[in-house]
Amino acid sequence: MKKLNVSKGFLAMVYIVCIFLAALSIMPFLIMVINSTRSTVQIQQQAISLIPSSHLIENFKILTGKAFNPMRGFLNSAIISVGATACTVYFSSLTAHALVVYNWKLRQPFFTFILAVMMVPSQVISIGFYQFMYRIHLTNSFLPLILPAIAAPSTVFFMRQFMLSSLPLEIVESARIDGSREFHTFNRIVLPIMKPAIATQAIFSFVNSWNQLFLPLILLTRQEKYTMPIMVSLLKGDIYKRENGAIYLGLTLTVLPLFIVYFLLSKYIIAGVALGSVKG
Amino acid sequence: MRPKKLSYAKYGYIFSIPFVVAFCMFTLYPVIFTLVIGFTDFKGLGVTDFHFLSEPFKNFQQILSSPSFKTALKNTFVLWGLNFLPQILLALLLAAWFSGTLFKIKGQGFFKVVFYMPNIITAATIAILFSTLFGYPMGPMNSLLQKLGIIDAPYNFFQNKWWAKGVVSFIQFWMWYGYTMIVLISGILGMNTEWFEAAELDGASGWQKFFYITLPNLRTILIYTLVTSLIGGLQMFDIPYLLVSKSGPNNATLTASVFIYNQAFSGSYMYNRASAASMIMFIIICVLSAVVFYLMRDKYEAAAQKELKRAARQRLREEKQKARTGA
Amino acid sequence: MKKILSIALVLVMCVSMFACLGTTALADDNVINLYAFTDEVPGMLQKYIDEHPDFGYTLNTTIIATTDGAYQPALDQALAAGGDDAPDIYCAEAAFVLKYTQGDASGYAAPYEDLGIDVAAEAEAADIAQYNMEVGTNPDGKVVGIAYQATGGGFIYRRSIAKEVFGTDEPAEIAEIIGAGTGSWDKFFEAAETLKEAGVAIISGDGDLWHAVENSSDSGWIVDGKLNIDPKREAFLDLSKQLKDNEYHNDTTDWTEAWYNDMAGIGPKPVFGFFGPAWLINYTMAPNSGGSAVGEGTYGDWAVCESPIGFFWGGTWLLANKDVPEAKKAAVAELIKWVTLDCTEDGLQYHWANGTMVDGVQGTKDVVASSTVMAASDGSVDFLGGQNMFDVFIPANAFADGTNLTQYDETINSYWRDAVRAYTSGELDRDGAIEAFKTNVADNLDIEVEF
């Protein structure tokens, strides 16, 4: 093994760079978390501190006094994200199943089509989408934020690739011999095999949906319907007095769930990024 | 066997129905609707009826000749250029270090997790966080720079257009280099090890291997990353919108998406002009996507297969190990 | 796995049910939807509800600040979306009230008389200023909105600095020094030079001067559907440049931290004063003065005098949705009447003018719309060292008129301020700044612009 043909100095530099970048990733969030426990006056006197203070509850009171309702936002975001994620993974698996298991005439054209529409971005259709939802009176509903997730081309692509490599068609055949109906076979036999792919895609779909701002911002007008990102986008606007401690706390509350999800599942997320890398 | 298999073909159609229906309703129809609106006089709050214009391309002409839209497109490329170059260079460097052909870095897993972390955090949160960090006059950045003696009076970053652009680019860079790094690492790991072994027999050094084998073979992934990041740049909304009140000093951070939002959802509710702008942006994205699609056509499948198999093997190995230790 | 799947399925169903419920079940007949840009009006209406236990309605409030222009799009979409979630009562500020009373969104506003309010008689009894009613009158000539404040402005300055630099803190004498009522900024800039020699900035940023300039100009941003730059507003470019080049201010932007800091006297240079109406004192300067009693921070170290050019700034108009359900109409009318027209001692305006919103606490005071109420109120506040601010602000109300307001003021102002800032910082030349401003208006609003 020739692994030691690099100098110690070079290796040290590598570590210094890595540690610097790690600090760069962590510092903004660390400042945010610590400042969320400090009072606005303290922050004004010294913007950076590594010692948490004792004004967390005070900040929370100011924050919730400003019509910022973290529980509500959390719940709304959760409903939308869970719904969208469930739709994405279930129906993408189903579509992939159709693409892999059955031999139908339009299969190849359909697949090519899915590849082609993979990059239709949501912003460019927003006007038509908004007008459509406005006309059918769904502007203050979560449905327009959940149902479109049924058609997620890139997830279908990923699921198809996974299925091709890990679903032996013999299993489907033998299920048929046992008299299992096709839909049943998909739900009871194929889906469990897809578990790893579902897990990866679920995480990304969830995070994506959780972080969305553009569509919710134009669709949801009622304060009770606001998602976390909308609430965040309104945090800065307080016309009479700037409460930095409360702003930091608001930001912290919005990312807390993401931090928890991320650090619990980071291994799968990183693996998922690598796995999905060929398609982005 | 054959006729029997054919009889299942209908399920292919049946199981594709939800996707097709949802796609038609929530993507195709809105696209067509948006396109149609682009040719009409549709504007105004709460208005629902519209008429086709006598000069059908008036909105498109107006958008194409509008200095703000040009600024938005130009900004998109400038912001993208500012963040993509450093991002890809750093990601390549880290990928070269982390893919382990030269040496092994301890704590690799930790570093990957931390570098990737900003990518999953809500962009809206990050925008507000950075606008607070760069706050004037008392933000953390100002107090840090003052403590380090780099500046002696607080600096109002977001009043300078290059600072505004710089911070937006930095955030993009900071959020995405970890992702690009992981993508590149997996690209490197997916390469044929025989090439490296052959090169080693020929006495190639680590850096030679990187420049002569790794880099050329990453070409497709690099182009892919480049184009998707450009598309992402066109769509960028949350960060410029929230970081420096809407479009920054003298429209320094106005992007195509913010432009569309301003046209359609604030001020005069000019849905027609916004639709025309959307469609122009859509065409640009289609062209870019076509490039990716063309490049990826064949390599997609092969690369995906290989990667998936490797992952499946590893999983199998892990599971076996788990079973063994568990028993 | 079966379990996981069935749980997932149940979850999907629950979620879609939730989502469906969200569209219908939240509608409640006993809830009044309120849209506001500060907590001021929600607080008032809540007080009314608290004081009248048999009122029978609760509030569902949406508060979105006007900073960064977020309030209007949200309100517009809520009005356009209609249905049970639509706002029943909504607030509009001077910078955009015309859009809701006479402009693009005027179709949503209900005439007060349709709610069962006898506007003409009530307004006469309360003696509401004419401009207030005019701004709130829709194209059909019916009153759809009335503001509860009167917002004539003055110059609010630091007593201690005045004593040190000018040897007096008497409002009358300071008014003389800054050229109050002269209709020109010359003496003001002379005073700025004197203050500069003493190391003091006369104002915090160009925004302070802007509000005085904006609302004293003869014409508004739009005349006959075309963009119009009033000479007085155009001159602001030069005034602002002069301020910046001579370092007469701390170069802050209004409604930012730096601006607030100057109110507490902790900016880079001490700041002599701010331009504003009574509400600026109560809601912005007092909370940001670094104290809440005389002697703390700058609290109590202020006084107010007449401005060189008379102006008014702000004001909140109350509007009701024309689609308010029949059953709620009386309740909505009751609230609106209490806030805008009731001139008794139990009415909102009396509480507001005398700072008795919260029982037992002698809180902040404000100049209100009803002259009847003003005549019966006393405006001495501790924040101004006991000065009766009504002496200055009531005469200043004469400068308030609605003629230079337009429905897009908030948006156009932000483009203008942006352009001015680009000019003063040297990024653009004077013509370039005007051109950039025109471009922004032409590209983002449906207004004709001549280049």
Pick from A83, A192, A244: CB nearest C19: A83
pLDDT of residue C27: 47
B17 Cβ contact list (under 8 Å, min separation 6): none
All chains having 3 or more CB pairs closer than 8 angstroms to chain A: B, C
Minimum distance, in Å, between the CA of residue C182 and any CA atom of chain A? 31
Average pLDDT over residues C8-23: 48
pLDDT of residue B44: 86
pLDDT of residue A187: 94
Tens-digit pLDDT profile for residues B93-111: 999 888 866 677 888 889 9
pLDDT of residue C337: 94
Q: How many residues does chain C have?
A: 451
Name every chain C residue with its beta carbon within 8 A of the beta carbon of B262: 444
Name every chain C residue with its beta carbon within 8 A of the beta carbon of A216: none
Q: In this predicted model, which residue has the larger pLDDT, C419 or B208?
A: C419
> Among residues A214, A211, A122, A203, which one has the least CA distance to residue A155?
A203
Angle at C103 between CA C102 and CA C107, to 5 degrees: 75
For B43, which residue in chain C has the nearest alpha carbon? C446
Minimum distance, in Å, between the CA of residue C249 and any CA atom of chain B? 15
C451 Cβ contact list (under 8 Å, min separation 6): C435, C438
- Token pair recorded at residue B5: 């298999």
Name every chain A residue with its beta carbon within 8 A of the beta carbon of C94: none
Name every chain B residue with its beta carbon within 8 A of the beta carbon of C408: 267-268
All chains having 3 or more CB pairs closer than 8 angstroms to chain B: A, C
Tens-digit pLDDT profile for residues A254-278: 888 889 889 888 888 888 888 765 4
From the CB of residue B145, how many other CB atoms can be counted at a distance below 10 Å?
Answer: 16
Q: How far apart are CA A21 and CA A16, in angstroms?
A: 9
Q: Is A134 in Cβ contact with B48 (below 8 Å)?
A: yes
pLDDT band at A239 (very low <50, low <70, confident <90, very high): low
Compute the count of residue pairs across chains B and C with CB atoms less than 8 Å apart.
85
Compute the count of residue pairs across chains A and B with CB atoms less than 8 Å apart.
325
Please name the fold of domain A72-226.
MetI-like fold (1.10.3720)
Interface of B with A in 144-203 (CB under 8 A): 144, 174, 178-179, 182-183, 185-187, 189, 200
The answer to whether the beta carbons of residues C328 and C352 sit under 8 Å apart is: no
The answer to whether the beta carbons of residues A232 and A143 sit under 8 Å apart is: no
Torsion-angle region of C82 (φ positive above 0: left; ψ -120 to 50: alpha; else: beta): left
pLDDT band at C88 (very low <50, low <70, confident <90, very high): very high
A161 at interface of B, judged by CB pairs closer than 8 A? yes
Q: Is A221 in Cβ contact with C74 (below 8 Å)?
A: yes
Whether the pLDDT of residue C186 is over 90: the answer is yes
Reduced to 3 states (helix: H, G, I; strand: E, B; else coil), residue A123 is helix
Whether the pLDDT of residue A114 is over 80: the answer is yes
Pick from B185, B228, B279: CB nearest A274: B185
Name every chain C residue with its beta carbon within 8 A of the beta carbon of B135: 257
The answer to whether the beta carbons of residues C135 and C250 sit under 8 Å apart is: no
Name every chain A residue with its beta carbon within 8 A of the beta carbon of C261: 44
The identity of residue C288, as a single letter, is: N
Whether the pLDDT of residue C302 is over 70: the answer is yes
Q: How far apart are CA A11 and CA B104, in angstroms?
A: 10
Select the residue from C288, C410, C443 to test the B interface by mutation, using most B Cβ atoms within 10 A: C443
**Secondary structure element (H or E) that encloses residue C21, with its range:** helix C2-24
> Among residues B47, A239, B43, which one has the least CA distance to residue C70?
A239
The sign of the CA dihedral C301, C305, C310, C315 is positive
Tens-digit pLDDT profile for residues B171-186: 999 999 999 999 899 8
All chains having 3 or more CB pairs closer than 8 angstroms to chain C: A, B
Average pLDDT over residues C12-39: 63
According to DSSP, residue A223 is labeled G
A129 at interface of B, judged by CB pairs closer than 8 A? yes
Q: Is B45 in Cβ contact with C80 (below 8 Å)?
A: yes
Q: Is B267 in Cβ contact with C258 (below 8 Å)?
A: no
pLDDT of residue C359: 61
> Among residues A145, A193, A127, which one has the least CA distance to residue A166?
A193
Q: Is A121 in Cβ contact with B187 (below 8 Å)?
A: no
pLDDT of residue A276: 66
Tens-digit pLDDT profile for residues A51-70: 888 889 998 988 887 767 88
Tens-digit pLDDT profile for residues B51-80: 999 999 999 999 999 999 999 999 999 999
For C66, which residue in chain B has the nearest alpha carbon? B245
Whether the pLDDT of residue A204 is over 90: the answer is no
pLDDT band at B305 (very low <50, low <70, confident <90, very high): low
ipTM: 0.89
Q: Kindly list the domain boundaries of chain B, sorted by start residue.
A: 68-297
Name every chain A residue with its beta carbon within 8 A of the beta carbon of C80: 134
Q: Is C436 in Cβ contact with B46 (below 8 Å)?
A: no
Tens-digit pLDDT profile for residues A134-172: 888 888 899 999 999 999 998 998 899 889 888 888 989
- Token pair recorded at residue B289: 């996507």
Q: Is C107 in Cβ contact with B66 (below 8 Å)?
A: no
**Secondary structure element (H or E) that encloses residue C58, with its range:** strand C58-63
Select the residue from A40, A89, A232, A240 to test the C interface by mutation, using most C Cβ atoms within 10 A: A240
CATH of B68-297, one of 3.40.50.10130, 2.40.400.10, 1.10.3720.10, 3.40.50.2000: 1.10.3720.10
Tens-digit pLDDT profile for residues A215-233: 998 888 888 889 999 988 8
Strand partners, C271: C201
Interface of C with A in 375-404 (CB under 8 A): none
Interface of C with A in 55-94 (CB under 8 A): 60-68, 70, 74, 77-78, 80-81, 83, 85
Tens-digit pLDDT profile for residues A73-86: 999 999 999 999 99
Burial of C314 (0-12, 13-18, 19+ CB in 10 A): middle
Q: How far is CA B160 from the centre of its chain?
A: 26
Tens-digit pLDDT profile for residues C271-280: 999 999 998 9
Minimum distance, in Å, between the CA of residue B14 and any CA atom of chain C? 20
Q: Is A192 in Cβ contact with C67 (below 8 Å)?
A: no
Q: How far apart are CA B27 and CA A263, in angstroms?
A: 34
> Among residues A38, A32, A62, which one has the least CA distance to residue A52?
A38
DSSP codes joined into one string, C65-91: -SGGG-HHHHHHHHHHH-GGGS-SEEE
Minimum distance, in Å, between the CA of residue A199 and any CA atom of chain B? 14
Q: Kindly list the domain boundaries of chain A, sorted by start residue.
A: 72-226
Sheet containing C153-158: which strands, arranged edge to edge?
Answer: C273-277, C153-158, C302-305
Domains within chain C, CATH numbers bracketed: 29-150+314-375 (3.40.190.10), 153-311+379-444 (3.40.190.10)
Pick from B179, B281, B299: CB nearest A273: B179
Minimum distance, in Å, between the CA of residue B137 and any CA atom of chain C? 6
Whether the pLDDT of residue A110 is over 90: the answer is yes
Tens-digit pLDDT profile for residues C353-363: 888 776 655 56
Instruction: Give the strand pairing for C222-223 and C226-227.
Output: antiparallel
Q: Is A237 in Cβ contact with C16 (below 8 Å)?
A: no
Pick from C15, C63, C74: CB nearest A82: C15
pLDDT band at C100 (very low <50, low <70, confident <90, very high): very high
Tens-digit pLDDT profile for residues C106-143: 999 999 999 999 999 999 999 998 889 989 999 999 99
For C68, which residue in chain A has the nearest alpha carbon? A237
C432 at interface of B, judged by CB pairs closer than 8 A? no
pLDDT of residue B315: 66
For B279, which residue in chain A has the nearest alpha carbon? A124
